Amino acid sequence: MFEKIKNYKKIVMIFLIFLSLISLLNNCYKALKWSADFQWHPSTLLLNGINHYEYFLNGGKGFLSQLGEYGHGLYVLLLPFANLDWEYAKFFWMLTNVFFVFLIPLIICKKFKISKNITILIICIFATCSPVRTCINYGQQSLLIMFFFILPFVFNNKKSALLSGISYFKYSVGYVVPMYFLISKKFKFFFLSTIPAILGWIIYFTMTNSDPITNLFEPLILGVGKSYARGTDLYSILSSFNILENKTYNTLLAIFFSISLNGIFLYKINKIHDNLLKLSLICLSVVIFAPHSNYDYIFLLPLLIYSIINIAENKFNLFIIIFYFYFSKIIKHLLGFDSGETNFYDTILFLTFFYCLIKNTFFIPAISGKL
């Protein structure tokens, strides 16, 4: 009897692995046809000594959707790809993304001693979920950013703190790391984490012969000028109210309020003893307080892992994550909410995730479990 059950589990696991590989291959094929968000074009401008921030601020045309809103360091990091033709560059970037699809869940599961079978299950879910599929299709940088973002929470050493600064290159994600270091009084980690951003800035303004001070603020000017908003986050919802008549001031107010509230949650999260729960809630705060597209919801992965190994107390967390990973995008399309503007459906999603953050931060004891 037990042998039969064991064989059934093996068959199910093999079937899941097979489906995951088919999904990955399909998305790799789409990536070779698309990869529109891969920031190759701005890096080619940098390679040729052109300040891409000035280029776009002065009305320069982008290539596909590569509009250069990230921090200086990302374009320095991508210079090896800029040396390649577009077709070769997106091929090697696709391979890089696939590498992170496996590496990110593996290092989290290894750190928290998750069993082999559950680790395989988690990788299969992660590899086939909508955010990861979109990330690969669009050639997004989110997997790269997430990898460096989680390092200090997984390894907790100086080297990981230094490398975590690469996550700063995407402001809507990376700002959480220095806030957490300051709140937790890890001042050495904070200063180490700023090094990649500073080096990236120095290399960038040197290569483009730009004024250092002007260049320092150009990424923010380019980003704020686009008033990027979605709907499943506090910033976007606050921005939609237009509390102040001046658009820029309204944006800055929404940023200030969202970051301040995030800081309050990080202060409380820092007191949690369960490190996997702590990582889960820090990553959840990333998508709640700042605007993000579907592909950035890969940051739900740690909460997925925590919910699976502590399933008795976290059925709701698991349900909403699985719903978002596989069904939310389809339902949103069927309801006609694809415009990217704040809408009723996105607001409900935001409130649901916000409820998860509040419940797990303030009302759930910091227990840990293993399977």
Per-residue pLDDT tens over the stretch 231-257: 789 998 888 887 777 777 888 888 899
**Greatest mean pLDDT among 148-157, 243-252, 338-347:** 148-157
Q: If 0-12 CB within 10 Å is exposed, 13-18 middle and 19+ buried, where does residue 331 land?
A: exposed
Q: Looking at the predicted structure, is the pLDDT value of residue 97 above 60? A: yes
Q: Which residues pair with 63 in a beta bridge?
A: 66
Local confidence band at 204 (pLDDT 50, 70, 90 cut-offs): very high
- From residue 213, alpha-carbon distances to 14, 117, 217 in Å are 56, 52, 7
d(CA 109, CA 304): 11
Q: Which residues pair with 66 in a beta bridge?
A: 63
* φ/ψ (deg, to 5) at 95: -65, -40
Q: How many Å is the maximal CA-CA distance in the chain?
A: 74
Q: Looking at the predicted structure, is the pLDDT value of residue 371 above 50? A: no
- Would you state the torsion angle of the CA atoms of residues 54, 60, 62, 67, taken in this order, to the nearest 10 degrees? 30
Q: Contact, 80 vs 92, CB < 8 A? A: no
Q: Residue 9's pLDDT is what? A: 78
Local confidence band at 190 (pLDDT 50, 70, 90 cut-offs): very high
| DSSP single-letter state for residue 61 | P
Please list, in sequence order, all residues whose beta carbon lies within 8 angstroms of the beta carbon of residue 231, skipping any fewer than 6 positions away.
237, 240, 340, 341, 342, 343, 346, 347, 350
Mean pLDDT of 338-342: 67
d(CA 21, CA 17): 6
Q: Residue 229's pLDDT is what? A: 65
In this structure, the number of other CB atoms found within 10 A of the CB of residue 222 comes to 18
pLDDT single digits (tens) 246-293 = 777 888 888 899 999 999 999 999 999 999 999 999 999 999 999 999
d(CA 123, CA 13): 11
Q: Residue 143's pLDDT is what? A: 98
d(CA 369, CA 371): 7
d(CA 193, CA 195): 6
Local confidence band at 365 (pLDDT 50, 70, 90 cut-offs): low
Q: Looking at the predicted structure, is the pLDDT value of residue 1 above 60? A: no
Q: Residue 107's pLDDT is what? A: 98
d(CA 278, CA 276): 5
Q: Residue 71's pLDDT is what? A: 96
Mean pLDDT, the chain, as a whole number?
92
Mean pLDDT of 31-41: 95
Q: Higher confidence at residue 219 or residue 226? A: 219
Q: Residue 245's pLDDT is what? A: 74
Residue 21 identity (one-letter amino acid): L
Q: Looking at the predicted structure, is the pLDDT value of residue 205 above 60? A: yes
Helix (H, G, I), strand (E, B) or coil at 63: strand
